[in-house]
Each structure stands twice: as structure tokens, then as C-alpha cells.
Structure 1
Amino acid sequence: MFRPDHKQGQRYVLQTLKDLATWQDPLNSWLALFLIAGLAVGIASGFFKARKIQPKGFRWKTFRNEAIFAAINLAFSGILLGGMTVAFRSWGWIEYNQEPASWWVMGLEFALYFFLFDTWFYWLHRWMHKEPAYKLVHKLHHFSTSPNLLTTLSVNPLESLINGGFVPLFVAAFTVHQDTMMLIGPTNVIMGFYVHSGYEFFPRWWNRSWATKWFITATFHDQHHKYFNWNFGGYTTIWDRVCGTMRPKFEADYDKIKARTAQPVPVAPDGAAAALAANEVASS
């Protein structure tokens, strides 16, 4: 029976802390970036009162609860993901390709990660909308039907482990270059905050162009929070298009939002949102 070397594990813990302090290791830098960005957003989110996608915005009760849940998630998910990374290191599962990487190699590695994570996220996201997983894991994230930056972090720590745990699993399965990891980390953080921002920054033609319509926008994920059983993709719309889970009126609504002619969809009260989510999960 395999038994981990606890003394070796302790050395890896100390090395991890050292790497965090010096930003020498890309995987630990990703974890640190996640925590630091989360804390920064917690401070800045109070300034984001208006909504461009849903002008009515969020209620103070929602903001207060999401701030509390985000703080709890940051603490516990940092421990869980950090512990997972330390364990993988102590078992020798995480290694990086130390050879110099060309841009095309880094591009291929990043594309592999991008597609695999999007697939992982889509199917587990759909699973988390089924009972009992929805109530036990995912319901907390749907507390708000009008997402804001704090919604990114207002997640059950188990859900953070499911989504964030893909990164160390990917690194363990593929010996990628360290430079590639420095692309993966910021992509995760930036995409997470952007799709929950409540603002739509992409141009009006985004969903009409063959080259760009495959990548999600803030409006795409915003409508997932509004309607629950549509738009499950994490990075792309590919799986939603293939599986018929992209909201049929999404593109038309996107055009209206960009043209500033849409009337905001009424935001359900928080309690009503939870009830609606439960009903939709039960009927799906």
C-alpha cells in the first residue's frame, strides 16, 4: 500500500510558501493570483452599483450575503486547492517541461487546456444543476439572478474544488511548460470576473461573426443566472450549441443590449429566484 512521505510533504509545504512569496512557481502563482484578485474585488465591488446588462442591479442583501460567502470560499478553497497541489507535488505528480518553449508549442498547450477545461466545466456544470448536486453544491452560486463581481467568488468550496481542481489535474496529466501556466492562470481569473461583471464589453458583431461567436460573453453567462437551465459553457458556446442548451433568444437579446434599446428583464426577488431554480431543476 502506498504511503506518502509526511516529512517530504512538509518540505513541499515550506517550498510552496516560499514560491508564493517569490512568485517562482506558476501553479502556486495561479493560486496566489486567485486569492489576491478575490480580495481586491471584494474591496472594489462596492463601487459597481449600476448594471449595463441588468440595469436594476443587485440588492444590498444579495451583496452582503455574497461578500460573506466569498470570504468563506476564499479561505476554504485556498486550503483545499493548496492542499491538493501540495499532495500532488509530494507524490511527484506535478512536473513541468523545463525545455525552452516556442510560441506555437505554448499555443497548442494552451488550446488543449482551453478545450479540455471547457468540456470539464460544461458537463460538470450540467450535473450540478441536477438534484441532489444542485442543492448541495451549486445553489449558493445562484443566490443572485443579477450577477456582480462578487458572484464569481460566492461559491460553495466544493464547487471551487471541482472547477479549480482541474488545473492541478491538467498539470499532472500533461507535462506542460511553465510559460504556458502563466497564460492559464490569468485566463481563469479574468474570464471568471468578466462573465460575472454585469457589464458587456464585447462588440455588437461578436455573436454574428463565425470567428468569435464560439466564445462566451458576459451576457451569455448573465442569462444563465437569469434563466438557470441555459448557457452552461465556461469558455465557449460550443457544447451549448451542440447539445441544444444555448438560450434561443440569447443572440437577439445581446443585440438589444448593445443597441441600448432593451427593456431590462425584471430581476426576481432572491427567495423567488431560489424557488424558480428548484422548480426548473426538478422539471429538467
Structure 2
Amino acid sequence: METIDFAQPDIFAQTAFYMFLGIFGRYVLIAALFYYLFKVKYQAYFQPREVNLRPRRPEQHWREIGFSFITSVIFAVVGTAMVVLWQKGYTKIYTDFSQYSILWFVFSIGLVLFLHETYYYWLHRWMHLPKVYKWVHKAHHDSITTSAWTSFSFHPTESILQALVLPALTFVIPLHYSAIVVILLIMTTTSVINHLNTELYPRDFHRHWFGKWWIGATHHSLHHSQFKYNYGLYFTFWDKWGKTESPDYDKLFDKKTSQVGESA
């Protein structure tokens, strides 16, 4: 890859196009898989775990996919720019696995998730300010009852704000390129799970030593229905520390996980 000049306009455009196919394809593949498994094939089994029971508008899927298409274009352009910056030596992305220890490899993923969580929590609260909300975040909240397809449905301005954090972190944190791939897969998969509107995690998971810090569909669905709570992305710790976790969360999680295959 070092022999390819990604800054050349034609190569930049080609790279961005292939990156778009990867990003949008990843979104469609994971969203479609979860939608099929939990809304079609095993719908009867998981229906009691649906969190928000408001009906979705028929056109909502297509609106969400349309916004997700634009989001994927923006992510691809920013991602290609990150490749250019790596090639020019501005980032700390490394390709030789032996350059850092396996312990650092694992730790770097956790560190990025923590910093991304911190950035997004405060960005999310800012986007809910009345003067900001309608211009930046309303497009995402038009999906009051969410689904797997909601996971990438953002206004372009919000997409840009979300796309910048990972490239910015590569300027200061050494990351193996495969660690970036892992982080992106975690981002997409957790986003789909959190927007699925069906609680997948087991009973009492929210009381488990790990589960009480981990966000699932019940936690995030309350954000879409109540607006003023549950701003987290992956973890609940900022909501707990900032006293913005919904007081209805524990009760609703218990209700949705107490029975499976029966009416809740």
C-alpha cells in the first residue's frame, strides 16, 4: 500500500468508493441479519421483548436507509482521508503487529471505546440543546420506534461529527490497522443491537458486573421515547455519573426479560 499515492484525486475517489461499499455493505448485512432473525424468523419468540410498542410508519425503513447511505458516503470520505494522513506519516497507525505488544493491542481497543464513549456522550447532550437539536439530531429521532435500520440514520452534520473522532484519535494513540477494523465492527454491531427495539440480553444482565455498564436495546429505546435520558453509546457509566439514566430502565428491563415466548 505504501507504493500507492492515495492523495491522487483518481485513487482517492476509487478508494472512497470501495470504502463506501464496505461501510454501507457492512451496515446492510448486519442490519438485515438482525432484522431477519429477530423480526421475521424468531419474531414470535422475541416479540415480548419489544421495548417500544408504537407502530412504525411504513416508509420509515426507506428513510432510514436513505440517511444511512449518505452517512456511509461521509464515513468513506473521512476514512479515505485518514488513509492519506497515515501514508503521509501524520497518524500513529502501524502495520507491523510486533511493533507493540498484544496487551497494548487489546488495551488500545478498550481505550478508543472509552474515549469515543466520552466524546459521544457530551456531543449527544449538546445535540439535544433546543437550538441544535432540530438542525443536527432530529433526523435520527424521527425514528421514535427504532429498528436495526435506524443504526446509521443520521443527518449529514451529525454524521460528520461522528466520523471525525476515530481519525482524530489516530493522531495520538498507536493503533494497529486490524484494531481499527475491530473497533468499526463493534461500532456497527452494537449500534444495530441498541436500535433493534428488542432486548437480546438475558434476564438480570443489567445487574451483572459487566452488564450494568453495557448498553442494550432497552436502554437506548428509552432515549428515543423519553429524549432526556440515556445518552450513552456503548456504556452506561457517563449516564450514571451524569445522573441522566432513565429511572424506568431497571423496571422495563425486568419486564422485557422476565418472559420469553409469552405476552409480557
Q: Which residue of 2 aligns with 1:14?
A: 11
Runs (4 or more) in structure 1 with deviation over 4 Å come to 15-21, 41-47, 261-264
1:88 aligns with one of 74, 85, 92? 85
Q: Which residue of 2 aligns with 1:176?
A: 175
Q: Which residue of 1 aligns with 2:256?
A: 257
TM-score by length of 2: 0.81
Q: Which residue of 2 aligns with 1:36?
A: 25
TM-score by length of 1: 0.76
Asked whether 1:238 is paired with 2:237, we answer yes
* CA shift for structure 1 position 92: 3.2
Deviations 1:194-244 (A, max 9, x none): 111122111112111233201111110111111111000001100000011
* CA shift for structure 1 position 16: 8.3
Q: Which residue of 1 aligns with 2:108?
A: 109
* CA shift for structure 1 position 14: 2.2
Structure 1 residues 62, 15: closer, same or farther in 2, change over 3 A?
closer
CA distance in 2, matches of 1:141, 1:252: 26
In structure 1, give the amino acid aligned to 2:85.
F
Contact 1:77 1:157 in 2 (8 A): no
Number of equivalenced pairs: 249
* CA shift for structure 1 position 36: 1.3
Give me the identity figure in percent: 25
CA distance in 1, matches of 2:178, 2:59: 42
In structure 1, give the amino acid aligned to 2:189.
I
The Cα RMSD (Å) is 3.1
Runs of 5+ consecutive residues of structure 2 not aligned to the other structure: none
Contact 2:222 2:230 in 1 (8 A): yes
Runs of 5+ consecutive residues of structure 1 not aligned to the other structure: 1-7, 22-27, 265-284
Structure 1 residues 109, 76: closer, same or farther in 2, change over 3 A?
closer
CA distance in 1, matches of 2:263, 2:236: 25
CA distance in 2, matches of 1:78, 1:182: 14
Contact 2:231 2:244 in 1 (8 A): yes
Q: Which moved more, 1:81-90 or 1:195-204?
A: 81-90
Contact 1:12 1:90 in 2 (8 A): no
